[in-house]
Structure 1
């Protein structure tokens, strides 16, 4: 009887240890979380003859990886999403995603892209149509904006052309955000 009790006790300990290891860290979609925030209002829809590369400069407070890139635009189409290394202004990740329905978030899986804590990155996409987002109160967004383990540092854009190579967005603006580009982040 004593051996049977020890066996069941060991089995229970083993089972509880497995459950702790199987815990899944929830994925974070920081820009979707921010745009759904009560401090943000959706503004005007734009369609323009000029294309722009626009997005957000960010860093993560905990190392992890990006596994998906996505957009949500007013007009269905194919969109290129880019992750940049801010220090070198070079592309470190890229995905083309196709959106078939207006204003529906679409995602594309990528080979997991490791991010270093407290290093700056930028996510952008190229488009000639977008929604704007504005602060509900005040004239500017107050950066940094913390959403989970992601810290949004600024919005920026650069004018471009259809089909152009990625162009690092250099003009920062705090009064609005154009476009809805996002990523899925899994902290380590």
Structure 2
């Protein structure tokens, strides 16, 4: 064998090492390219994330400020609404005017849970329910008709007792779940205002 000719096995080894080195470089470049592609398409925009978090923080601060403001004025919070429980008595119309001055209205009871919440105060309260417009057609102060599935009339109510005009709704029989009564609107009662959370 000629000593001037390179050894075939040594050449093959160099070729294999060189090929492996080239494959490692290509693999690293491919990994970097894939990571960049994935990062740019799936990763959230950091500025957008920061903006969203800042907006959420500011919204929570506003809600907390509103909550503090209303609770300091004597409002009670329950399930996305603030409630003002009066400490004096007025007619139904004067009670409603008082609520409207507070940028609220007489309470509209939409659920069993809300009725239970109001029952816990154990007083006779005007609620935002009336049939003044048309006898026997009970409506809430926002104009919606009273649903028979979400009403809590006491047994035998409403009844316009002794054929008198009892056109305004109140809570009365607070020891039982069905505690509503119809009453003469000029009577003096406590009342509850409701303001939806902004």
TM-score interval (norm. to shorter): under 0.3
Q: What is the TM-score of this pair, normalised by structure 1?
A: 0.27
Q: Which has the higher strand share?
A: 1
Specify which structure has the bigger relative contact order, considering alpha-carbon pairs within 8 angstroms and separated by 6 or more residues. 1
Higher-Rg structure is: 2
TM-score by length of 2: 0.26
Is the helix fraction higher in 1 or 2?
2
